[in-house]
Amino acid sequence: MNILITGCNGQLGNEMQLLEKVNPQHTYFNTDVAELDITDPAAIETFVNENQIDGIVNCAAYTAVDKAEDNQELCRLLNTVAPGYLAAAVDKRGGWLIQVSTDYVFDGTNHTPYTENEPTCPNSVYGTTKLGGEKAAQQACSRTMIVRTAWLYSTFGNNFVKTMIRLGQEKPELGVIFDQIGTPTYARDLAVALFAAINQGVVPGIYHFSNEGVISWYDFTKAIHRIAGISSCHVRPLHTAEYPTPANRPHYSVLDKTKIKQTYHIEVPYWEESLKECILQLIKRKD
């Protein structure tokens, strides 16, 4: 197959490129904004047709959750409108689309893991525009697979893990929110799951993917510091109210992964094992 990867310079896009090397049966077109403007429907259609694209993995998005509150139009363009353009172009060729979405489509009032068929209720611009992207993609292409994920981190770009390591090395004390509960996702593991779908055949529908387990941001930070060998920084728990942000965040966003595990026969790693792997890769990179 000829597969278009958008947002190739992001966390997930970079991980997808690494895994392309061990999935050489397909031809990949890795693009970011310099190679393809996903807000330009004519440019997308030309690219898809000229390169005979069979499938698209859309890793591109506006992900600055707090900035989104003041940049609603740009956020809507990238997260809602663009997925519809991509879906429409690949649909004309009879192809498929994998649209990466987020736990922010829920308001976080659950106390048990969210399944794919539960009603959505985003309470931020980011969450609202990502839900809009899900719907736009599904309406434009019946062969769309939506994959919602959460708390994404990797060795690439800016993310919570790298920030907590840096701050832990720089500061004697940190305050981290303890009353927001979810599950971290190592972007490498998400990329492995997406390749399982690609290689087995994309089954349309909505799926949830994160690592296994449940944790708070506070406990996650404590684990990051322990694994990274940081002992000089005192981490104290904060209530959400003590750390106000422009965008609302779900207090509980644990995702039920039963559907994706059963459909594609995959095992999902426990969050701490994946965190250890990521930090090991970061240490190796420094060496």
Catalogue the active-site residues: 126
Query: How many Cβ atoms sit within 10 Å of the Cβ of residue 50?
Result: 8
**CA-wise closest residue to 184 among 286, 58, 55, 274:** 274
Encode burial over 163-184: b for 16+ CB neighbours within 10 A, e otherwise. Answer: ebbebbeeeeebebbbebbbbb
3-class SS at 128?
helix
The tokens 């969210």 sit on which residue?
Answer: 114
Query: Any idea what DSSP says for residue 243?
Result: S
Burial of residue 14 (number of CB atoms within 10 Å: 0-12, 13-18, 19+) = buried
CA distances from 189 to 3, 57, 214, 270 (A): 19, 15, 16, 10
Q: 156: which residues sit within 8 A by CB, 6+ positions away?
A: 10, 11, 14, 15, 187
Query: Any idea what DSSP says for residue 60?
Result: -
d(C-alpha 15, C-alpha 261), whole Å: 20
